[in-house]
Every structure is written in structure tokens, then in C-alpha cells.
């Protein structure tokens, strides 16, 4: 079955490298569904020149108005953007995004036909205290408050342990499976909806195949290396 590979460029890639990146990523042959989330500065060139789906890294909880520096789901929709990351741990921790704000962003996305990719995950301290499942359950139930089978087409949850992001360290395959099974069970119980569960955090060319083999994992979210064209081409090709 086709997998989803989300590329989160974060605040990387400068304008002089943009054409080269798009030209090269367009050459990648894959049956998997690639969703590229570039800096919002480059949403337009990616949308108009890149053959893959495009998502935003962030979205406002408001529709329009005096919110300097923000990007709304209505604006994304007007450009034909289909996805947005919501609640990435960098947004939660560096920009103090709360569960309530994340829920508002999710609802605003749904109002404007943007599929939110809801990111959840525990800190190292929480993992060590064996609080991973509680944390994830909490984050998911807050994020999806108000969602029902009629207002959502796809429910995408990305499990990204904070300690694995950018660290080169990943949970074991068994640990990832335990969490993705858990996410499946809580969503199916509440919504009779099949969730799409991604794993993110130090995914690379040596671990991607094994991670994608987990039966309750539908794809991966790749951060920092996704803006490095040669590395990401190789990873996408390995994932086929
Ligand atoms: P990483 O980041 O691949 O650099 O670990 C993942 C993410 O932040 O989504």
C-alpha cells in the first residue's frame, strides 16, 4: 500500500537553491504520497512548480484580519494548498502553542478544507516517567475536540517523540508500534474512523524501511534532512 512521506523543511532552504531543489525533487519516481511543507515564503513556487502535494508548516487559528505575520487556512485554501502541520513540538515549545490553540487551528483548517497533520509526542522526561500514553491521549483528545465523522475526511496524526526530533536517536520498532497501535485504538473507539498514523523524529535512510513496515504506520514525517536534496531523494527512493 502507498505510504505518506511528509517533508518538513522547517526554516531551511534559501531562495537561490529553490529552483534546483524543485527541479530535482520532481525527478523522483515514487508511488508513495509525498507532501512537502516548505517555508511559507515558498508555498507559491512549490505549489506552481512541484509535482507533489504541498502543505504549510503552520496555520493561524483565525480566518483573516489584523494578525501580523500569520497565514490563515483561508489563504492556504485560496492557493490550493491541501495540508498543514498543526501542533509541531517546535510550535508548542518555542512558540508556546497550547492544546486549546491547537484545537482552534485544527477546526479552522477543517472549515477551509485543509487537512491538518496533528503532531503529538512526549518529552524525554515524560518517557522516563512512563507517561507517554497519557501525554499522547491528552494531546490527541484536546486537538480533535469538536471533530466528528461529518467534518473530517482524513485524520492524520504524526507521532513525534520530542527527544527523537533532530537527535539521531529513535524509539525501537516495537516502541513505535506500541504507540501507533495505541493511537489507532483511541481514534477508532471514539470515531469509528480509520486514522492515518505517521512517525517522525530522526527518520533516515537506514531506518525508514523498517519503520514503514509497521502495520499501523501509514507514513513518516522527515524534518531537517528533507531540505537537503540529494539525501531526501535517496530516502524517498529507498522507501519505494
Ligand atoms: P527530524 O525532524 O527529521 O529532523 O528529526 C522531524 C520533525 O521535526 O518533524
| Cβ of residue 165 lying under 6 Å from some atom of ligand 1 | yes
User: Each residue of 123-148: pLDDT tens digit?
Assistant: 999 999 999 999 999 999 999 998 87
| Cβ of residue 160 lying under 6 Å from some atom of ligand 1 | yes
Instruction: Provide the angle, in degrees to the nearest 10, between the axes of the packed helices 173-191 and 132-143.
Output: 40
pLDDT at residue 1, rounded to an integer: 72
pLDDT at residue 97, rounded to an integer: 98
Residues in contact with 112: Cβ distance below 8 Å, sequence separation at least 6, in sequence order: 63, 72, 73, 74, 76, 77
How far away, in angstroms, is 150 Cα from ligand 1 center?
Answer: 32
CA separation for the pair 136, 3 (Å, rounded): 23
User: Each residue of 2-33: pLDDT tens digit?
Assistant: 999 999 999 999 999 999 999 999 999 999 99
The pLDDT of residue 102 is above 80: yes
pTM value is: 0.96
CA separation for the pair 105, 96 (Å, rounded): 14
Nearest residue (CA) to ligand 1, atom 3: 223
The whole-number average pLDDT for the span 36-59 is 97
Nearest residue (CA) to ligand 1, atom 8: 223
How far away, in angstroms, is 93 Cα from ligand 1 center?
Answer: 14
User: Each residue of 209-230: pLDDT tens digit?
Assistant: 999 999 999 999 999 999 999 9
Is residue 229 within a helix (H) or strand (E), and if so which, with residue range? helix 229-239
Residues labelled as active-site residues: 88, 160
pLDDT at residue 28, rounded to an integer: 96
Tell which residue, 143, 99, 95, 150, has the closest CA to residue 117. Answer: 143
pLDDT at residue 44, rounded to an integer: 97
Instruction: Provide the angle, in degrees to the nearest 10, between the axes of the packed helices 99-111 and 132-143.
Output: 40
User: Each residue of 158-205: pLDDT tens digit?
Assistant: 999 999 999 999 999 999 999 999 999 988 877 777 799 999 999 999
The pLDDT of residue 83 is above 80: yes
pLDDT at residue 238, rounded to an integer: 93
Confidence of residue 149 (pLDDT cuts 50, 70, 90): confident
Is residue 5 within a helix (H) or strand (E), and if so which, with residue range? strand 4-8
Compute the C-alpha angle 127/129/131, nearest 5°: 65
Return the half-sphere exposure (C-beta side, CA atoms, 13 A cut-off) of residue 97.
26
Amino acid at each position: 500500500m502507498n505510504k505518506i512521506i511528509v517533508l518538513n523543511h522547517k526554516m531551511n532552504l534559501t531562495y537561490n537553491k529553490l529552483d534546483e531543489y524543485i527541479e530535482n525533487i520532481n525527478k523522483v519516481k515514487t508511488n508513495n504520497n509525498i507532501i512537502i511543507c516548505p517555508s511559507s515564503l515558498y508555498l507559491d513556487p512549490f505549489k506552481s512548480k512541484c509535482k507533489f502535494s504541498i502543505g504549510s508548516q503552520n496555520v493561524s487559528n483565525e480566518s483573516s484580519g489584523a494578525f501580523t505575520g500569520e497565514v490563515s487556512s483561508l489563504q492556504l485554501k485560496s492557493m490550493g494548498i491541501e495540508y498543514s502541520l498543526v501542533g509541531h513540538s517546535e510550535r508548542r515549545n518555542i512558540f508556546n502553542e497550547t492544546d486549546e490553540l491547537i484545537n482552534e487551528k485544527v477546526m479552522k483548517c477543517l472549515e477551509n478544507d485543509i487537512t491538518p497533520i496533528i503532531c503529538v509526542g512526549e518529552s524525554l522526561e515524560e518517557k522516563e516517567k512512563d507517561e507517554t500514553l497519557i501525554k499522547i491521549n491528552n494531546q490527541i483528545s484536546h486537538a480533535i475536540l469538536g471533530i466528528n465523522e461529518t467534518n473530517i475526511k482524513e485524520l492524520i496524526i504524526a507521532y513525534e517523540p520530542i527527544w527523537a526530533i533532530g537527535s539521531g536517536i529513535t524509539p525501537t520498532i516495537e516502541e513505535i508500534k506500541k504507540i501507533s497501535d495505541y493511537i489507532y485504538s483511541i481514534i477508532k473507539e471514539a470515531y469509528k474512523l480509520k486514522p492515518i498514523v505517521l512517525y517522525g523524529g530522526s527518520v533516515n535512510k537506514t531506518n525508514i524501511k523498517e519503520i514503514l513496515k509497521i502495520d499501523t504506520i501509514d507514513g513518516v514525517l522527515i524534518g531537517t534532512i528533507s531540505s537537503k536534496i540529494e539525501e531526501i531523494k535517496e530516502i524517498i527512493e529507498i522507501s519505494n
